[in-house]
């Protein structure tokens, strides 16, 4: 049997095991996801919760839904974090490794002794759960949830398909990332067939509060194009937030916008808290945002990283420029070597 076949066999087995455990459990199901929930976390939680409730299950879904996603859940569907695990509960942990309880929000898994189902698509997952469905080849956890719901034989509705579509859209950057596979579109097609409101989700997600624009005006005013536009930076501080009536949550989207600048290889959003500074870094091509972040005591992925420094901005700025100079020199040296080979 070739590797692909064995993998798909194992995947189907995991789907069956997870579905069987969910089906067999008659006590409360506590559905959880990660801290700072994103569209995939909320979409997985809401899609699964709605389907399980349709099957007559008692489901508790603690999640602190961020403002920009509040258009989707009904007020009573999610609840506050649990202070205590209910009698006879089973935990269902989505889009995060259950072996990393610090990252799981909504309830403390360290205080829990019952069965745990884990559905996740992170490559770092340690695969220790009563039943686990883990596939890093899927760009969104909602794809795994969709397969479990299929196995459970749920009656598909628009209310179930729409949150799953949300997760698919947000974790794939609206189907724009390299992680998207033919299977991603097949899943999207199925969700559309089941009534997922694709246009509506995008319309809701595309709307920004007034403070977003007022703050954007302030941030654009600080925008700098360095090294011939290879590096783009902008800064935000408390005074700018106060003038715009915005909060730090409103700042999150800006670094992606900076990275869209033509010719930009590195984008840096500087969050200036006065006595400390946080940096959000994004890169493309051969430049590693991670290398710059690591040089400043931070970390993350190659193309998306961050660092937090307990120094005032002028000091951080000097360190940052040094780290950038080192990284760009490394890339340029590599380019020279490659050019020499050809
Ligand atoms: Mn995800």
| pLDDT given for residue 6 in this prediction | 60
- State in Å: Cα 98 to ligand 1 middle: 14
Of 260 and 301, the structure prediction assigns the larger pLDDT to 260
- State in Å: Cα 319 to ligand 1 middle: 33
| pLDDT given for residue 1 in this prediction | 45
- State in Å: Cα 143 to ligand 1 middle: 10
- State in Å: Cα 175 to ligand 1 middle: 14
- State in Å: Cα 95 to ligand 1 middle: 5
The whole-angstrom separation of Cα 209 and Cα 203 is: 13
- State in Å: Cα 109 to ligand 1 middle: 20
Helix (H) or strand (E) holding 243: helix 238-244
- State in Å: Cα 318 to ligand 1 middle: 35
- State in Å: Cα 94 to ligand 1 middle: 9
Of 36 and 23, the structure prediction assigns the larger pLDDT to 23
| pLDDT given for residue 222 in this prediction | 98
| pLDDT given for residue 4 in this prediction | 55
- State in Å: Cα 141 to ligand 1 middle: 5
Q: Is the per-residue pLDDT at 211 higher than 60? A: yes
- State in Å: Cα 317 to ligand 1 middle: 33
Q: Is the per-residue pLDDT at 191 higher than 60? A: yes
| pLDDT given for residue 209 in this prediction | 86
Tell me the pLDDT of the chain averaged across its residues.
94
- State in Å: Cα 171 to ligand 1 middle: 6
- State in Å: Cα 114 to ligand 1 middle: 25
* Residue in the structure block whose two tokens are 């890339």: 331
* Residue in the structure block whose two tokens are 């420094």: 309
Q: Is the per-residue pLDDT at 300 higher than 80? A: no
Backbone φ and ψ of 84, nearest 5° = -150, 140
- State in Å: Cα 28 to ligand 1 middle: 24
Q: Which residues surround ligand 1, an ion (CB under 5 A)?
A: 40, 95, 141, 171
How many residues are there in the chain? Answer: 342
- State in Å: Cα 214 to ligand 1 middle: 30
- State in Å: Cα 40 to ligand 1 middle: 5
- Contact present, 39 and 73 (Cβ < 8 Å): no
**51-106 tens-digit pLDDT:** 999 999 999 999 999 988 999 999 999 999 999 999 999 999 999 999 999 999 99
- State in Å: Cα 41 to ligand 1 middle: 6
- State in Å: Cα 35 to ligand 1 middle: 12
The full set of domains in the chain, from first to last, is 9-205 (3.90.1640.10), 210-341 (3.10.310.30)
Binned at pLDDT 50, 70 and 90, residue 317 comes out as very high
Rg of the chain in Å (alpha carbons): 22
User: In the structure encoding, which two tokens stand for residue 327, read together?
Assistant: 């990284």
| pLDDT given for residue 301 in this prediction | 78
| pLDDT given for residue 27 in this prediction | 97
Task: Give me the mean pLDDT over the 305-322 stretch.
Answer: 97
Burial of 226 (0-12, 13-18, 19+ CB in 10 A): middle
The whole-angstrom separation of Cα 97 and Cα 103 is: 8
- Contact present, 237 and 275 (Cβ < 8 Å): no
- State in Å: Cα 268 to ligand 1 middle: 24
- Contact present, 260 and 283 (Cβ < 8 Å): no
Task: Give me the mean pLDDT over the 177-194 stretch.
Answer: 95
**284-296 tens-digit pLDDT:** 999 999 999 999 9
Task: Give me the mean pLDDT over the 195-206 stretch.
Answer: 96
Binned at pLDDT 50, 70 and 90, residue 251 comes out as confident
**106-131 tens-digit pLDDT:** 999 999 999 999 999 998 899 999 99
């Amino acid at each position: 049997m070739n590797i692909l076949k064995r993998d798909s066999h194992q995947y189907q087995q995991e789907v069956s095991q997870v579905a069987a455990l969910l089906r067999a459990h008659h006590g409360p199901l506590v559905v959880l996801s990660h801290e700072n929930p994103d569209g995939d976390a909320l979409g997985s939680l809401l899609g699964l919760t709605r389907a399980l409730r349709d099957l007559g299950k008692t489901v508790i879904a603690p999640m602190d839904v961020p403002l920009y996603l509040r258009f989707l859940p009904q007020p009573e569907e999610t609840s506050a974090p649990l202070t205590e695990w209910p009698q006879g509960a089973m935990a269902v942990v989505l889009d995060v490794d259950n072996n990393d309880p610090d990252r799981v929000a909504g309830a403390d898994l360290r205080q829990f002794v019952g069965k745990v189902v884990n559905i996740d698509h992170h490559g770092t997952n340690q695969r220790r759960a009563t039943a686990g469905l883990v596939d890093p080849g899927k760009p969104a956890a909602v794809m795994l949830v969709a397969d479990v719901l299929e196995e459970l034989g749920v009656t598909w509705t628009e209310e179930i398909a729409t949150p799953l579509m949300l997760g698919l859209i947000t974790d794939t950057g609206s189907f724009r990332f390299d992680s998207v596979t033919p299977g991603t579109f097949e899943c999207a097609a199925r969700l559309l067939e089941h009534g997922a409101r694709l246009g509506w989700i995008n319309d809701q997600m595309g709307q920004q509060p007034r403070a977003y624009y007022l703050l954007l005006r302030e941030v654009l005013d600080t925008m700098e194009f360095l090294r011939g536009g290879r590096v783009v930076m902008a800064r935000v501080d408390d005074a700018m937030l106060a003038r715009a009536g915005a909060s730090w949550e409103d700042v999150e989207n800006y670094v992606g916008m900076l990275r869209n600048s033509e010719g930009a290889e590195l984008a840096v959003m500087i969050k200036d808290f006065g006595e400390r500074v946080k940096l959000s870094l994004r890169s493309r091509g051969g430049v590693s945002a991670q290398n710059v972040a690591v040089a400043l005591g931070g970390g993350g992925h190659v193309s998306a990283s961050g660092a937090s420094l307990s120094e005032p901005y002028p000091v951080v700025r000097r360190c940052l420029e040094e780290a950038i100079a080192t990284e760009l020199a490394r890339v340029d040296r590599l380019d020279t070597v490659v050019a020499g080979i050809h």
